[in-house]
């Protein structure tokens, strides 16, 4: 029996409890807007050398939900962190949409990402595919399709790990346990996909304490995005230096 089948086997008897909780959470959850400002920019423009072109494609965290402006977002913070480590400018773009799943992004966001060349693309998915119960096969096909299309344009691809939903304080305890388990299953599949594609898988390095989370208890705060970006930069820098 597959691990996903085991998850369903454990979850089905709990649906009479879980579904009302999910509906109540959806109705009452604090909904934060996407970040304001330009969803692209350049970090450390004063440094010498040709800018490394960084592209992020993903869900609400790429759209900057949880902070006010894009200069506080994951994409901008990652660009700053990479510039510090690589000693060169980073030109970044963020193609994100609040609430989007990986299959939807393959259709809607990938064309935007491919519209301009990039040296490194980070794909940031998993929360919505977990909560929307995206089928495992569709999840992997969408991610592989995006990675292959980007690599076909000479772009290095990396994946950010699926966030551990068991630590999302906005969710009731039962939903945290069920969604956290499913997020872990998707992340294990993501790790295997990355290995098969020769792509990087970057574990999410973020303490799930109040100061690292936005007021909705679901998205990172400005401090959280900086912490997440620093962890990503540490993981990405060695491979980027080898390519330089």
Name all domains of the chain by residue range, CATH numbers in brackets: 37-243 (3.40.50.1110)
Q: What is the DSSP letter of 49?
A: S
pLDDT in tens, 151-197: 999 999 999 999 999 998 888 999 999 999 999 999 999 999 999 99
Q: What is the CA radius of gyration of the chain?
A: 18
pLDDT in tens, 85-114: 999 999 999 999 999 999 999 999 999 999
* Residue indicated by tokens 């109540």: 24
User: CB neighbours (10 Å) of residue 120?
Assistant: 23
| Entry field: residues in the chain | 244
How sure is the predictor about 19, in pLDDT bands with cuts at 50, 70 and 90? confident
- Mean pLDDT, the chain, rounded, equals 94
Q: What predicted TM-score, i.e. pTM, was given to this entire model? A: 0.94
How confident is the model over 207-227, as a mean pLDDT? 93
Rounded CA-CA distance 168/25 in Å is 12
Per-residue model confidence (pLDDT) at position 244: 57
Rounded CA-CA distance 94/41 in Å is 9
Residue 209 predicted with pLDDT over 60: yes
Higher-pLDDT residue of 118 and 2 is 118
Residue 1 predicted with pLDDT over 80: no
């Amino acid at each position: 029996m597959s691990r996903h089948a085991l998850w369903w086997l454990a979850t089905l008897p709990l649906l009479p409890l879980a579904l009302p909780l999910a509906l109540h959470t959806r109705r009452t959850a604090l909904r934060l807007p996407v970040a304001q400002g330009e969803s692209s920019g350049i970090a450390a423009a004063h440094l010498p050398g040709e800018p490394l072109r960084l592209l992020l494609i993903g869900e609400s965290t790429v759209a900057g939900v949880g902070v006010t402006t894009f200069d506080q977002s994951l994409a901008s913070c990652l660009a700053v962190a990479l510039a510090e480590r690589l000693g060169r400018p980073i030109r970044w773009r963020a193609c994100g949409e609040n609430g989007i799943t990986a299959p939807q992004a393959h259709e809607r966001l990938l064309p935007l990402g491919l519209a301009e060349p990039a040296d490194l693309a980070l794909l940031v998915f998993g929360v919505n595919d977990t909560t929307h119960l995206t089928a495992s096969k569709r999840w992997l096909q969408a991610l592989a399709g995006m990675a292959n299309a980007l690599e076909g344009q000479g772009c290095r691809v990396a994946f950010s790990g699926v966030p551990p939903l068991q630590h999302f304080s906005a969710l009731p305890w039962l939903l945290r346990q069920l969604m956290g388990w499913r997020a872990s299953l998707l992340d294990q599949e993501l790790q295997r996909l990355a290995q098969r594609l020769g792509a990087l898988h970057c574990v999410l390095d973020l303490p799930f304490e109040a100061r690292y989370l936005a007021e909705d208890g679901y998205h990172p705060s400005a401090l959280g995005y900086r912490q997440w970006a620093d962890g990503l930069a540490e993981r990405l820098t060695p491979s980027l230096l080898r390519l330089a």
